[in-house]
Structure 1
Amino acid sequence: MSTGDDMVRAARGWIGTPYRHQAAVRGAGCDCLGLLRGVWREVLGREPEAVPPYSMDWAEPQGDERLWQAARRHLREVSLTYEAPGDVILFRMRAGSVAKHLGLAARIGTSATFIHSYAGHGVVESPLSTPWRRRIAARFRFPKEAN
C-alpha cells in the first residue's frame, strides 16, 4: 500500500531529469504528466491507461479540460484546503485557460514545495509560492494501490 511519502520519495528521484514533451523516463526526459506517470509506475505499477499523443497546448483552443478529466478517472479529487504530501496539484496557468500543468506536493505548511517538470528547467522542487497557489485548479490523491 502506498503513501504520500512514497510518492514524494519517488518524485524526488526524478529531480534533474530534463524536460522532454510527452516523455516519461527518469534521467532521460519527461514533461509534467510524464513525471506523474513515472511516479505511478514506480510506486503503484502499471499505468491505468495508455496516454494518447497530446500537444503542448492541451486542447486549449477547444477549451476541453482533458487533463482534469483524466485525473478524475484515476485519482481521488480532494478539497483544496486539505493539503498532504504526495498530492497531485493541477494548475491553470492563465485565467480562462484550461488547466494544463501538474505537480506533486512535497512539503506542506509555511515552507510548502512541489515537484514538477517544465520547459527550460526539467524536474525541480519549487516553493509553492503565492503566485503558484493562485493557479491551483484542483488537488488529487493517488489511489492506495493500483486497480
Structure 2
Amino acid sequence: MSGVEARVVAEARDWLGTPYRHQASRKGAGADCLGLIRGIWRALYGAEPEAVPPYSMDWSEPARDEVLWRAAGRHLRPKDREEATLGDVVLFRMRDGSVAKHLGVVTQTGSQAKFVHAYSGHGVVESSLTNAWRRRIVARFAFPEEI
C-alpha cells in the first residue's frame, strides 16, 4: 500500500461517526458522501480543486447528467473498475437507469472488503462491500499521488 493509500484509509476512518448532513463536509459535524471525499482531499492536499455548487439529493437525475462522475474524473485518477486497491474512491449507481450519485472509500479488499461512506440515515460508517454494493459500482478512482 502506498503512502497516499494509507493516508486515505486512515483519514476516511477518522470520519466514522460523523452525522449525515446533505452538502456538508466537516468531520464530526456533518457530511454527505461527496463531503467525505472533499474532507479527505483537504486533509491530504489542502484547498479543494474547485468550488462545489449547491446540489440536490437527486444529483441531477431528472436531467440524466453524470455530474458527479465527470467531477471525479477531473480530479481523481480513473482506474479499471475491477482493480481494487485500498483507498480507492468507488462511485455507485443506486438504481438501474439512474445517474451515479454515491461515493465511498475502500478500506479493506479481498473476501472481507469494506468501504467508508456517508449514508443517509446512518452517518459516516464502514460497511461491508457486499455483492449488493459491488454490483452498483460503475467507476473506480484513486487519489493522485501528488497535485
CA–CA distance in structure 1, aligned partners of residues 64 and 136 of structure 2: 17
Shift of 1:2: 4.9
Tell me the secondary structure at the aligned position of residue 11 of structure 1: helix
What one-letter code is carried by the residue in structure 2 that aligns with 1:30?
Answer: A
Question: Where does 1:78-97 land on structure 2 (aligned, <5 Å)?
Answer: 78-97=79-98
Tell me the secondary structure at the aligned position of residue 8 of structure 1: helix
Shift of 1:119: 0.9
Scaled by the length of structure 1, the TM-score of the pair is 0.97
Aligned to 2:117: 116
CA–CA distance in structure 2, aligned partners of residues 144 and 7 of structure 1: 11
The answer (yes or no) to whether the contact 1:2–1:43 under 8 Å persists in 2 is no
Q: Deviations over 1:57-92 (max 9, x none)?
A: 000000000000000100111001111010000000
Q: Deviations over 1:75-118 (max 9, x none)?
A: 11100111101000000000010000000000000000000001
What one-letter code is carried by the residue in structure 1 that aligns with 2:65?
Answer: D
What one-letter code is carried by the residue in structure 1 that aligns with 2:45?
Answer: L
Question: Where does 1:6-25 land on structure 2 (aligned, <5 Å)?
Answer: 6-25=7-26
Structure 1 ranges of 4+ moved more than 2 A: none
The answer (yes or no) to whether the contact 1:116–1:123 under 8 Å persists in 2 is yes
Scaled by the length of structure 2, the TM-score of the pair is 0.97
Provide the alpha-carbon RMSD of the alignment. Answer: 1.0
Aligned to 2:129: 128
Structure 2 gap ranges (5+): none
The answer (yes or no) to whether the contact 1:2–1:145 under 8 Å persists in 2 is no
CA–CA distance in structure 1, aligned partners of residues 119 and 146 of structure 2: 27
- Identity fraction in percent: 61
Structure 1 gap ranges (5+): none
